[in-house]
Chains A and B, each alone.
Chain A
């Protein structure tokens, strides 16, 4: 079974600075998808960024980018120019492209605080 580990329960960053959230995963599959979701106090999970494992190029979405290291099974999220609205719980998630492709497996999350 796949597992997702987020080793940082909490992180903090100054407004306008850059922060990196870590995620590692364990899988025997070669093709899969990785995601970062944001969960603000409103509780709604919002997709931040997505990476297909077969793509070598790291995904970027405006101020958000990932460092995907397939051999190391590492998938970190970098937030540049942090804003107060970025404060939230961030979850890393894995989805198979094979038989279990209907479900996301989430890590325990990292609580990000943005200091003004």
Chain B
């Protein structure tokens, strides 16, 4: 168990390009979350999956943002037509949920996106 892994650690892109981030959760975890953290702020919830089902996505910032978790394992977060305002750190977290209580989130080290 190596924890939650995110790739890449840093991404620099030009405005208008598409970017994709990957998150590998802890292997037995059934929930996976995406958060966004901008400078001077706490993380902000974006979306989450229970196994392969995306149960909440209304907090995704626009229709340029999309996330997938095929087969309930790793997840990808894609941003299309990036804008400078998308520059932020994108955090992934996973957890094992049972009985609705006792959930503990484990976070990755994030992907820092810079849009030029």
Contact = CB atoms under 8 A, between A and B. Distances in A.
A45 B43 contact: yes
Interface in A86-101: 91, 93, 97, 101
Interface size class of B (residues with CB under 8 A): 20 to 34
Given A103-B48, A108-B40, A45 B107 contact: yes
Interface residues of B: mostly helix, strand, loop or mixed? strand
A43 B48 CA distance: 20
B60 to A, nearest CB: 13
Interface in B36-89: 40-45, 48, 55-56, 59, 89
A44 B107 contact: yes
Interface of B: 31, 33, 35, 40-45, 48, 55-56, 59, 89, 91, 93, 100-101, 104-105, 107-110, 112
